Amino acid sequence: MTDQPGAVTNLQIVYQVSQEDFESASWLALRKGPLPKALQFYFRIGFLGLWVSMSVLPVLAKPTIHNLLDSLMFSSFGFAILLGQLFFTRLGFRREFRRSAASQQPTQLGIDDSGLHLVTAESDSRSSWRLYLKFAENRSTFIVYQMGNLVFIPIPKRELTATQIDGVRSILSSHLPRK
């Protein structure tokens, strides 16, 4: 039971994860997940910043049209690398979604003080809060990390009411740390 008066302690929701939901949850997991994955995500941004900085130095040292054109080509190559990495990461998320038939099924999720109860057409599992490490959310989804910090359960906000979103956040916050 939560200590807050009037707090939601039991919530039943039904949802189906779409490809967009899965991609959003995967990006969130990449950013908020284990340190190596988070570093991989932020390394790209740092790499691009360094790349662009290096391309500007010749122009600052000797501002000629030749240096300016070289700088533009060098920095645009850096942007192309970054966009390519982001594109292939997104392509990987889509491929993973298509391969995972379980994530595409309608899911009934029960959340209460004892843990999570997930029911799909092919499975019925109940697990206590001890099996989960933390949760994270962005504007379109919640994710709950299972032990090992690599597997997560996406809960899309798209199919939830504002009251259900607040209820999910309240219950998760009372049992798991927010990342």
Domain ranges of the chain: 10-29+101-175, 34-99
Model pTM score? 0.72
CA dist 124 and 35 (Å) reads 31
pLDDT value of residue 159: 84
Q: Are strands 132-137 and 115-119 parallel, antiparallel or unpaired?
A: unpaired
Residues in the chain where the model's pLDDT stays below 70: 1-8, 33-38, 41, 149-150
CATH architecture of 10-29+101-175: Roll (2.30)
pLDDT value of residue 1: 40
CA angle 55, 87, 72 (to 5 degrees): 20
141 DSSP β-pair partners: 156
